[in-house]
A and B are shown apart, each in its own frame.
Chain A
Amino acid sequence: MYKIAVLGDYDSIYGFAAVGLDTFPVSDSEGATRQLHTLAENNYSVIYVTEELASRISEEIEKYSTSLYPAIIQIPGVSGNTGAGVENVKKTVEQAVGSDILFGGN
């Protein structure tokens, strides 16, 4: 049985607890890294990370990019949308096609 985790600063994620996701408030990137690895090993197959935090621990997130689980998905935090999530999608297109042919215009 797998579960879903939400990782980020407390203000951005406390609401997710109500709908049944497991929230793990972290503030510093070191704690976040440790938490991320613990979660990945403990049956969390989807981990939502706030964009702001993800930008600080991108190297750690990169390590899971080729494995099937966990799926680490960036979500905007309370401080606003940094566009990192969209940027990521564009990057996958670039990786696959060679250049961004789909969303380059907007």
Chain B
Amino acid sequence: MAATQVNPTRMELTRLKKKLKTAVRGHKLLKDKRDELMRQFLDLVRENMELRMKVEAGIKNANKNFVIAKAGMSEQTLHTALMAPKQEIYLECDKKNVMSVDIPVFEYRTKTADANDIYSYGFAFTSNDLDDAVKSLADILPDMLKLSETEKACQLMASEIEKTRRRVNALEHVVIPQTEQNIRYITMKLDENERSTQIRLMKVKDMMLEEVREKAQ
């Protein structure tokens, strides 16, 4: 029996048939979307993991260098050296549409073109360890930006995949079977009605014939 109450009428039947058609078509489209999203996601997430490993190793290295630099000079000197940075980084944010998911695209621009502007201090009072430390951090920066791009994209795509998967499952396991069941119920009910009408007509015909026969006698 149908889970919900449906009117066994022809109009309802037409409506349900249309609904089933839409649901099947939607199911196919969403399934395709899910598969394609998944394919792209898996590529992206592999890249994400690689970048993350690289960035984490790079930052670890940079931190180590900073600790060494810190050990080599007084804390005040270090703080003063890094107090007023010369270099600044601006981001150009764009977005890219991948299978109806907006993913960010970052492009960075530095304030000054000179690569040496990362050293915002005179070299008189600082050790060369600090130069190494700052350099190691600057080297890892492009990868860090790439990481932020891919990681955010992965997060957004993951939630979109989850949503799509739920929709596909809801259509596949709830909407489509239920509609099919309702259609079956209505068809059966209509057939039953038709049969009973036919029987009634046959009965009436028999009765009328009998009446005529009686009158004739």
Contacts and interface: CB of A to CB of B under 8 A. Distances in A.
Given A16-B137, A102-B45, A85 B158 contact: no
A20 to B, nearest CB: 4
Contacts of A12: 63
B159 A65 contact: yes
A68 B98 CA distance: 13
A18 B45 contact: no
A81 B63 CA distance: 11
A48 B89 CA distance: 14
Given A86-B49, A102-B45, A2 B152 contact: no
A78 B56 CA distance: 11
Contact of A15 (B38, B66, B144, B165): B66
B162 interface: yes
Interface stretch (B23-31, B102-110, B207-215): B102-110
5 contacts: A2-B90, A4-B91, A18-B85, A73-B148, A96-B158
Contacts of A96: 38, 41, 45, 157-158, 161-162
Contacts of B155: 65, 92
Interface string A10-35: 00101111111100000000000000
A19 B66 CA distance: 13
Interface of B: 38, 41-42, 45-46, 48-49, 52-53, 55-56, 59-60, 62-63, 66-67, 79, 82, 85, 87-93, 95, 102-104, 106, 108, 110-111, 118-120, 133-134, 137-138, 141, 144-145, 147-149, 151-152, 154-159, 161-162, 165
A88 B55 CA distance: 15
A95 B151 CA distance: 14
B158 A93 contact: yes
The interface centre, meaning the residue of A46, A66, A69, A80 with most chain B CB atoms within 10 A of its CB, is: A46
A46 B151 CA distance: 11
Interface string A52-72: 000000000000011011010
The secondary-structure label for the interface of chain A is mixed
Contact of B88 (A20, A73, A76, A92): A20
Interface residues of A, number: 40
Contacts, number: 139
Contacts of A21: 89
B197 to A, nearest CB: 52
Contacts of B48: 89
A89 B45 contact: yes
Which of A4, A68, A71, A77 has the most chain B CB atoms inside 10 A of its CB? A71
Contacts of B55: 75
Contacts of B110: 20
Nearest to A73: B148
A78 B41 CA distance: 31
A93 B88 CA distance: 34
B4 to A, nearest CB: 30
Given A2-B91, A12-B63, A89-B151, A48 B144 contact: yes
Nearest to B48: A89
